[in-house]
Amino acid sequence: MEATPEREREGRGEEWSDGGVALGFRVKACSRESSGQKAANVLEPDLRSHWSTATNTKEWILLELNEPCLVSHIRIYNKSVLEWEVTGGLRYKPEAFVKVRPRGEAPKRDMVYPANHTPCRYVRISCLRGSPIAIYFIQLTGIPVPGLEPEFQPLVNHLLPQISSSQKQSHSSHNMHLQLLKDIASRLPPFLPQIEADLNSITDTPEGSVRFLALLAGPFYPILNLINERDATKTSIASVDSDTLKTSLASIPTVSSNFEAQPRRARSPSSVQPASCMLAFRSETAILLLRKAHKDKTLSIVCHRASRVLQKLLEPEPFVDEPIPNGGMLSSEVSDEIPKSDASSLVPYTNYSSLFGEEFSLSENHFDGSFLNILDVAAVEEGILHVLYAAASQPQLGCKLAETTSDMWSVLPLVQALLPGIDWEMTLHT
């Protein structure tokens, strides 16, 4: 016997969750409200209060969710609306909203309408007729997807059948297609101008386009996270006048001076740097590099290794408060010099190997924290990027780096030492 297709129905919240959660929202606007029955009353499931316009035709109420979501169901406890329509969208452009519930008669009491995981930040209920127009309360359920933008709609369309199927079958928290969408939506918005073409090509070439986006949000994301962090320093550097910049160029440290005492694990670059060095942190340059790595297996191996190193550099200091060889602990003075990483900068990996194969599996990264004691992390991060650009522009070098079995950690001091002598134009010529 075939299952009955999902349809609007009466019911309580626990009966129609489909693995989603109750979504928080507020009333952003309404066309009208009476003095005693405010629009905010729809937020509370209390039949002693309601929203009323004291009119009979063409009124509306606009709800704003706390964050972008895939809305699965809309529950409206109606008082006296006779006809309504429900629309929604990710941006506050009501004229561009999509229909969630087409125009139709409004039953007088508790109704639950399926929204089919429509991407929404805003939900508008247009009340076309009533006697008068009045609603007791409204509830929404679905799946929060922070960062979801309208530009991701092709990706949503591609992943939604698998997401919905998994939610209905198991209510599982291990919905890999959903996790992929969440990772891409939360991590890649800063790079939307560079990946817009990939998003638009999902309809024609879904496998390759989605795989590339998964690489950016997964194994390669520590590289993009670094680009995003350091890109923010351009505004301060751009404000430096040219005379100051020329002075700074004349005082670039020598190779040996790179090993003088540095503030341990400093992650902020100097406020004055050669303008050319900032080319390494341009978003379009990094995306071009990773796009090439997506198509070139050798370069992909090198980028994976570099990404794992950058991942470790972003994590909290694992050696703080650990025993040191003389049996003591790091002094409080030294510990105070080490800035604690902001939790928001951490880059947890998601293992996408079940979707895309072993290239997306999490491999063990050998980590020697002792090297961090002598490193200027900001310089090392920049040096790693130039190594990647060099590998992309010189295939022979890329092959040697991919074939080597030595630990990349051991060469980080050398990467830092060679940074002042890097030929910027050559490494960035990808």
Q: Which two tokens stand for residue 253?
A: 């440290």
Burial of 8 (0-12, 13-18, 19+ CB in 10 A): middle
Left if phi > 0, otherwise alpha if psi is -120 to 50, otherwise beta: which for 73?
beta
Give the per-residue pLDDT at 373. 72
Query: Is the Cβ–Cβ distance between 128 and 107 less than 8 Å?
Result: no
| Per-residue pLDDT tens digits for 102-153 | 999 998 799 999 999 999 999 999 999 999 999 999 999 999 999 999 999 9
The Cα–Cα gap between 175 and 215 comes to: 18
pLDDT by 10s per residue, the chain, length 430: 333 333 343 434 444 556 689 999 999 999 999 999 999 999 999 999 999 999 999 999 999 999 999 999 999 999 999 999 999 999 999 889 999 999 999 987 999 999 999 999 999 999 999 999 999 999 999 999 999 999 999 999 999 999 988 777 655 557 899 999 999 999 999 999 999 999 999 999 999 999 999 999 999 999 999 999 887 544 444 444 444 434 443 443 333 344 343 444 455 555 445 554 567 788 999 999 999 999 999 999 999 989 988 888 876 544 333 433 333 433 334 334 434 444 444 556 677 877 887 777 666 656 666 667 778 888 888 889 988 998 999 988 889 888 887 667 777 877 787 776 665 555 555 4
Q: What is the pLDDT of residue 368?
A: 64
pLDDT attached to residue 350: 77
**What DSSP string describes 137-152?**
EEEEEEEE-TT--GGG
pLDDT at 67: 97
Q: State pTM to two decimals.
A: 0.78
CA dihedral in degrees (236, 241, 242, 243; nearest 10)?
-130
Residue 311: the pLDDT is: 86
DSSP single-letter state for residue 91:
S
Average pLDDT, the chain: 78
- The pLDDT of residue 242 is 43
Query: Which residue's entry shows tokens 């990264």?
Result: 365
Q: Return the closest-CA partner of residue 230 out of 184, 291, 271.
A: 271
Instruction: Using alpha carbons only, give the angle 214, 216, 222 rounded to the nearest 5 degrees.
Output: 130
CA angle in degrees (0–180, nearest 5) for 330-332-336: 105
Q: What is residue 329's predicted lDDT score, i.e. its pLDDT?
A: 39
Q: What is the structure's pLDDT at 246?
A: 43
> Torsion over CA of 418, 421, 422 and 424, rounded to 10 degrees?
150
Q: What's the pLDDT score for residue 252?
A: 36
In the three-class reduction of DSSP (H, G, I as helix; E, B as strand; rest coil), residue 2 is classed as coil
Q: Report the pLDDT value the prediction gives residue 264, as an integer from 0 to 100.
A: 43
Is residue 19 within 8 A of residue 117, CB to CB? The reply is no
Q: Distance (Å, rounded) from C-alpha 187 to C-alpha 228?
A: 10
pLDDT in tens, 398-426: 898 888 876 677 778 777 877 766 655 55
- 240-265 pLDDT tens trace: 444 443 444 344 333 334 434 344 44
Convert the pLDDT of each residue in 188-209 to its tens digit: 999 999 999 999 999 999 999 9
- Distance of alpha carbon 409 from alpha carbon 413, whole angstroms: 8
Residue 249: what pLDDT? 36
Report residue 411 CA to chain centroid gap.
Answer: 31
DSSP helix/strand/coil, 210: helix
